[in-house]
Structure 1
Amino acid sequence: MMGTKIVNQLQMSLMMLLLMIASMATAANSKGIGTIVFVTGQATIERESIAMPVTSDLRLHAGDTIHTQENGKAYIRFDDQGLITLEANSELLIEAYQKSEIEEKSAFKFTLRKGQMRSITGNGAQQHKNRYRLNTPVAAIGVRGTDFITKADDLTTQVKVITGGVIVSPFNDQCSPLAVGPCENEAAKELFASNTQYLQIQKGMSAPEIKQIQVSEMESESDNSAETWLAEINESSGESETSNSESTESSNQTTLNTEIDRTNWDKDQVIARIDEIDQQLESNGVTEVKPTELFWGRWENFEAPEGANYVVASSDYAIYRQLSSAYQAPQGIVAFDMVNAQAAYVNGYRTYNATVTDAQMQIDFNRSSFETNLTVNSEGQNFDLTSKGSVLATGVLRSVSLPGSNTTLQGALNHDATEAATLFNRTYNANERVHGLINWTASD
């Protein structure tokens, strides 16, 4: 009798478990944030402490963890056209995937606990880059508008960029794994699309380092074009490739197929040209206008001027440059005056307008160094920012960690170093920072 009772209890428990799995599968196919479009080998999904096999057309939800086995591989297409491929022996947690018209309510957050993944950010993350975060056991990864590959284990993280750029930071007092968005601090380092380099950070390192690619270090898939990868997904999910033929005509193009509806990093991600610094010259009654060679913009879909080249970027802005002639550094020390600026103060989920005052920049071209001082004013608070750094041979400005420097700054000079544009960011903690851009002209 006792044995029969135990068997009945086990049968009842099994039936309840099967009903839960069936219910979960039904819910998964009715709502969600994305879909498994193709899976090979063995893979499982963990949802609310219940594991079940991964199958094609399975809908995904925030909170899901996907596990691939030794022979497993999964392709994910999110509803905003974002794409992820998860390689064998990998574990990926989808912590949040929410797009909102309100910046603070958007969140795109993942944790790659181990393994390798390739990600092409979707339309939502493209519009809200400040709300995208990929964590690994040792680092936080933010994006600039991106197709990138990440490998991770408990000790090491490697990132290779196919298109766009990333910013990688170790976890520290200014970079919490609990936060959303990129970590902008002195320890962070950027990497942009390259066939020869990748970023690596290991546990205990104070900052990532750029390394040269060896074939054995990043798998051969990293050399595939985005178009080839997307075609593979479309073919695997039974979609026709003919609709994307225009976007894949040339292997030299980096524009993703029209289904992704994204733009070329090198030309189309600047929203507005910087206000022209007009220098009017009176000559025989004719006014000649000298336009700036520097362009900036927020990350939106906007076509940059033909021939303008990307120079530097932050999570908020990018600077492009179109030199009228080769850059030539002058001699001596040159002071610069602020022409105009944009700035913001971020506290938690709120972003406040800010003003910039008392801005000064001095460049010592003999020593290839610079220093800036400025004050950001917002919500009754004054933030004093100082940055020191190097002037590269190309006319690019980059801050370095030096005594008295508390702000990350990067920028560019025009061909004769009479104009400059700079991006600045100072992070105070995981929730509070100030950032912006300044347009400069050399003092008379």
Structure 2
Amino acid sequence: MRVRFDLRVVALALSVACTTALAQRNEKIDGIVGHAVAVVGNARILSAQHSAPIARDGMIAEGDTIETGADGYVYIATVDHGFISVRPDSSLTFEHFQYDGSAPKQSVIKLVLHKGTMREISGAGAQAARDHYRLNTPVAALGVRGTDFSVFTSSDITRADVRSGGIVMTPLGGSCLSSGNGPCEGPAAAQLFAEQRNSMLQVDRGSAHPLLVENRLAVVTPQGAATQKNEDNAAHSVTGQAQGDVGIAPLELQFMNKIPGPQAPAGPPAPATPPPAPSRPEAQQIFWGRFAALAAQPADTSLDALLKEGSDQVGINTLFAMTRTPQTDMVMPVQGVFGFSLQSSAAYVLNASTGAAVPGSISNASLTIDFGKRAFTTQFDLSANDATHSIAGRGAVLDDGKLRSDYASPAAISGALAGKTATQAGYLFMQHIDSKTTAMGATQWAR
């Protein structure tokens, strides 16, 4: 269902003065988060006392949960002059929200995004008390530094992008407990700044470190950009800031190796957090088969059904064809060098004079992809007829994740990447050994 926003609804964001007047008088505001300046579609507020549809101008308190349906949007003006948008199919809990306008550095803010998508522009409390701000998801903890950011989460994956300022994100588990306050620091944390506009951070359940991947708006914000202008108008009305006004220099987020200050006396141990459940391996998404009869063996017709179902043909040579299931949700890392391990293969050495095809075996195989340079290199030994041949290839990783060898590559290679974060790979190869002999085969890889 498409939602149409009435500009008069967005204009109601100006009524934020009713809520923020207390903050402007520098009075301490305990347990009041703010109020809803716009409500569209199915949206409810849940608290210990009641569960009811949330009304425009409805007050939101510490401990409340905002839940939206498939057509629901809630725009919230917070008492510290911040802005929060809860988008469709989402659930957001304000676990702690303590703000003191006269001493903003003493603020404590903790949110939990159980599912769905939210956008936040940090208010005075979050900006002043950055070490006491935390946003938890089922798999990650986020900290902010005066930031305009969006987060999408399910039970197994969290993605975040930044429009202004910066964030730090850490997988939950180990020393990063969901019960903690403030950002989790250390080697498992990763940072993202607005300057990296084409990137987003992603944490999968069970992962040890966030991955920096391509920023695809439809992946971070499944509702797309259709309502972005209305949301921006509401945010501007609430915060008085246009896009780009919110945020700080990236240097202020470089706190990973700061010298620790005096240690406070140890308190009672925090309740133990169970380790994240192990992530389930992704189903195979790259397939290959031999479509030509060879050495008295019939052709492999296993790819026929996949091709009919609309899978993507990514490679073909004299003997083999390779397909990939549609990769509508795949995002590739934007930096880093990753090694892949060979999972399965088939290879033959063909003699052009005799027509003989001798099966071979592959050993010492490697595939390395440099996502920053969008390039790959691969090599392995192919043994057949009591001889071992060195096969090598190099080339480019295209925008759609397909692998194509360059003109200087010894082996002609065509293949592709697959999986949520390009964790699978496959390619077909052909390399001339001499004027009469050619090596040909198929390989499948994983990291």
Q: TM-score range by the shorter chain?
A: 0.3 to 0.5
With normalisation by structure 2, the TM-score equals 0.48
With normalisation by structure 1, the TM-score equals 0.48
